[in-house]
Chains A and B, each alone.
Chain A
Amino acid sequence: MRWPQRSVAVGMAVAVQAVLLVVAVAPRLSARLMGDEYLVRVAPVDPIDPFRGAYVRLQYPDLLSDDAAGRREDERVFIPLVRDGGLWRGGGLLADRPEDGPYLACRYDGGLRCGIESLFLSQTEARSLERDLASGGGVARLRVDGRGHAAVVAVEPG
């Protein structure tokens, strides 16, 4: 069976769409597939995304300090991860990519954005997790790849 030229073009367009799909989630996909796991302290703030539903907005008290002084919009910064007992914490902001050790690659956009600020859950789960985190704090399980791309894998209260 010979497919018409239009169907071939549609097949190519679907391939382009598949590539765009990967581009849209590339840093998070890379962190999940190739990253190592780190545990950090976490605290909640809560809203909703119109396309993806309820989520818990996360803050990392030991990791990200939202110090705006002298920061430009869109500026790239790097946060080395330092072991602190069973958890990890941030080792300050660096302008250049660290040569060794795990680190987060972030962007300044009205605050530090490292790709780990949201955890999408169902409405009920989001509300319950937010309550648990607000009362007793919690720990986020992150995966971070060699380029500093990070993804939230799970958040555990307590």
Chain B
Amino acid sequence: MPWTKLSAMVSPAAACAPRRRMRRLAHSSALVLLSALLLSGAPPEKHLSVYSVVTNYSLTLAQRDGRDYVGLLEVLEPLGKVSARTEGSHWRLHYNNVEGEFQNGKPRARIQGRDYDLGGKFFMENGRGAVPLTSLSSILPRFLGGPVSLHEDSGRLFIGSVAIHFTASLASDRLVFNFTAPVNPTIATEPGALRMTFSREPLVAPASPTLTFGSRTIPAASYREANGSAVVTVNSTIPVIASFSNGGRTIIVSPNSAAAQNASAAPSAAPGATAQGPPTPGLTSSPGQPGASATPATGPYRRYFAIVDASHGGEDHGETLSATLVEKDVTVALARSLRQELESRGLTTLVLRDSDANLSPDQRAIFANADHAAIYIALHAASNGHGVRIYTALLPFSEDDRGPFRSWTTAQHAWLPLSQSTAAAVAAEMQRRQLPVRTLIAPLRPLNNVTAAAIAVEVAPQGSDVSQLTAPDYQQLITSAVATAIAGSRDQLGSAP
């Protein structure tokens, strides 16, 4: 039946119809406005990204008692055989052969006969259990039988050794990112910045969250993590574009050619420049004739003159120097001090490990080689002996080089004379400062994998007091001697960029 006819038939109601319609419209508008207000004021949904060897996935976090909570069943389901059953207020979870028992409203759990503090109450809803996000770092290793690393603030969980590391180096006016595994970030540009968001990739922070390049066109890049993603932002003074190569392992950020032509202040791009990825472990580019190896690293790609490597890190503590002091902490302090000393002498320096990250010897060598630094310095600390030991590589029994490729285990071979002369210079400077010093060769990785002058400095106390290793004066005495010697060998090592 047409509306007009109905309206005509019900004449008393028709008289009030316009007023009712107006009221209904006003109510609807108010409801829409209120919803919009509520939605705009609501906090964004929080996520947990889980990275494992098996799969990568994302889960939504819930808020309880002002904390972030996550469903434990949902975390474990993609990783293996898992089942749960409810018995009254108890919740029993089976993951492969591991059993855990939780109780609704209680902050403790029992896994394989051991009690764990969850750091907050356990909640049970519809047969599914939720635990505080913070508790994953303690309870998951028990279920999974391996280490996990939780970045709680950013909602990122790394199960096992899955992390992807990266380096960034400026080649001419192009910024080259090299990753240890293929990546496929979401890329967005805005005036003055290019943003790469890694949601699916277990990308981890570089040694320093802010990387500066001293370039007018691309002065800096920064790394941050938020809500289950890692974001690398490249700051630029001109429009830039990103391109992929090397099977997704390399991203090159370069000036947008049309815009670059208009930017007269910006330096022109070097047409011959090409991105160069890190060598594959096992094979690395031949450094060429040994006679030409005195300055093998000179070229347009060198960003840092020196790479300083704080040895050990993460679960690798190095030597336990005392009840409260481990080697990995001393090496970081020494590395920071050495960077300061080198940079004060005008030598650009990158500290390879500036946090408690765990890098393998291969990764350290790959990063050092990709940066084409003039010298690589590994720092160690020891409780035995006195003074300082300077090491160069003891090369293993050589494997056959294949064509233009050199064996990874003896990649240092062509640089060994340069490494030894640098070690001798450092030792001479130590002696000049009356520090007890020895120069030795050592079967110490990654010295044999580095394609640059490479030395390791092992610092021991002068006497029997190990606490001297943490004394700023002692650290500076040593790092200043190392920096002075390296600055003195600058011409031999190759001029800085």
Q: Do A and B come from one complex?
A: no
Q: Which residues of A are in contact with B by a Cβ distance under 8 Å?
A: none
Q: Which residues of B are in contact with A by a Cβ distance under 8 Å?
A: none
